[in-house]
Structure 1
Amino acid sequence: MSKPEPESGRDPELPGRLLRTERDALMPLLRATPEDRFALRTACPGWTVRDVLAHCAAALVRIVEGRLEEGVFLPEANAADVAERADWSLPRVLDELERGFTEAGPAIAKYEDGTLDTVALGEWVHAGDVREAFGVPGAYAGAATEAALPLLAVASRRRETPLLHAYLDGSAVPLVLGNETEGRPAAVFHGDTPSLIRVYSGRPLVGTRYELSGATEQELLIYR
């Protein structure tokens, strides 16, 4: 098998920066939240807040420790990681998550082709799932957004979504996502950043307000 080509224009430090910024914002919230709140259901079917965090912690620590056997991030493997942590104490789960947020960035950066860059994006989206379940502000937004949007652009290209120009929060300069298709003009999105993230990640759109033309929400999904 040939060696994957480096990701064009890739910033290898971006995933780590996203993870550390999210760590600093999310961990204090998690540490201060009563344990019974971790049993709340999330936007991820079948998973509670605790399950989502166990999945996030397991994925990051696998990267840190280099345990990336084939199929490691498939749904069955994710479910197995969550089940493995079912008997752990909540503080142990949170400690593992904080370790992953802290240490995974340099490990991700070593993959010159950017193979694991979008794992960091997924972790950030899951942090939004947790905030939404808790009913606190900042779901799919916050200080880490600046690092998350370029990774969304990477994910949208890799998942072969159609070309889209996203005009976010009234900006006159679009964020360019997806891939150009001959004979098909770019789709256009007008709205806020959290709504854009919800569209691409398949999160609930109830209560959002945005305009999308030239593509359907289904075509833009990066998680299937």
Structure 2
Amino acid sequence: MRLAEPMESVRGPELPGLLLRAERDALIPLLRSRPDEDFAIRTCCPGWTVRHVLAHCGAALTRVVEGRLGDGVFSPESNDRDIAERADWSNARIVDELERGMTEAGPVIAAAGRQGHGGLDGIALGEWVHAGDVREALGEPGAYEAGEALDPALELFAALTRARGAAPLLAAVDGRPVPLALGLDTDGGPEPARYRGSAGTLVRLLAARPLTGTRYELTGAREADLNFFG
């Protein structure tokens, strides 16, 4: 049984840019409507407030746009330096940089193509997950499944789990008529694990986000096995 075609046939190079622009259109107006004190709210990312997450995201996309992606980039130490460099920026300037990055990074990611385990595509997906972290910290509903960015995000999760050779998973997501196939299946390989539940809970599993208050069924795999960013 084969669950997935090669990555090139299930995603176009424009998909990460589509994801970033869709999330930009939802997230940036929300951020601009919030008072400064909301940027000090703690998120699920250890030690990081909303402001820290946004500063990290804006810095990461600026690095992509400017081609500053050497060894050690996006390590914990590099992320802390990027955040520290923006310590005296206003919250509005933090949001401005993020908006520019979400607008301009897509074509750069598309031009880079698929390299290694998915090239720069994973950065776009990580940005979208962090947007969910921010929405959850701000008490917004549907933190990891709201808006038009959900469909391209799930498609990109599927493509990148295949590119990285993850174990196969069939996800029956609420409200979707066809299960989502994640991971790479080979002829004669193991039966895929199976998930049933909401899209938001699936994202929480894939991104190792808190699962408190969720309901889902998972067979053939452990929670830790699904951690895409681990």
Q: CA deviation at 1:172?
A: 4.1
Secondary structure of the 2:112 match is coil
Of 80-89 and 177-186, the range deviating more from structure 2: 177-186
* CA offset digits 1:169-190 (Å, max 9, x no partner): 1434211001236552100000
Name 2:48's counterpart in structure 1.
Answer: 47
Match of 1:137 among 136, 141, 161: 141
CA contact (8 A) 1:159 1:222 kept: no
1:121 aligns with 2:125: yes
Q: 1:43 to 1:212 in 2, by over 3 A?
A: same
2:220 pairs with 189, 210, 214, which one?
A: 214
Out of 195, 207, 211, the residue aligned to residue 189 of structure 1 is 195
Q: Contact conserved, 1:118 with 1:154, CA < 8 A, in 2? A: no
Provide the identity percentage. 60
- Look up the match of 1:3: none
- Between the aligned partners of 1:86 and 1:7, the Cα distance in structure 2 is 40
| 3-state SS in 2 of match to 1:211 | strand
Q: Is the 8 A contact 2:7 2:163 kept in 1?
A: no
Amino acid in structure 1 at the alignment position of 2:142: G
Q: List alignment gaps of at least 5 residues for structure 1.
A: 1-5
- CA distance in structure 2 between the aligned counterparts of 1:7 and 1:155, rounded to whole angstroms: 8
Larger relative CO (CA 8 A, sep 6+): 1 or 2?
2
Is the contact between residue 7 and residue 162 of structure 2 (CA under 8 Å) also seen in structure 1?
no
Q: Which residue of 1 aligns with 2:38?
A: 37
Q: Equivalent of 1:168, from 166, 170, 173?
A: 173
Q: Distance in 2 between matches of 1:73 and 1:81?
A: 9
Name the counterpart of 2:3. none
Superposed structure 1 runs of 4+ greater than 6 Å apart:
none
Count of aligned pairs = 219
Distance 1:68 1:134, change over 3 A: same
After TM superposition, give the deviation of residue 159 of structure 1 in Å.
4.2
Q: 8 Å contact 1:16–1:106 — kept in the other structure? A: yes
- Tell me the secondary structure at the aligned position of residue 181 of structure 2: strand
Q: TM-score w.r.t. structure 1 length?
A: 0.93
Whichever residue aligns with residue 112 of structure 2, its letter is: Y
| TM norm structure 2 | 0.91
1:66 matched to 2:67: yes
CA RMSD of aligned residues (A): 1.5
- Secondary structure in 2 aligned to 1:212? strand
In structure 2, relative to structure 1, the CA distance for the partners of 1:158 and 1:45 (3 Å cut) is: farther
Question: CA–CA distance in 1 between the matches of 2:47 and 2:161?
Answer: 26
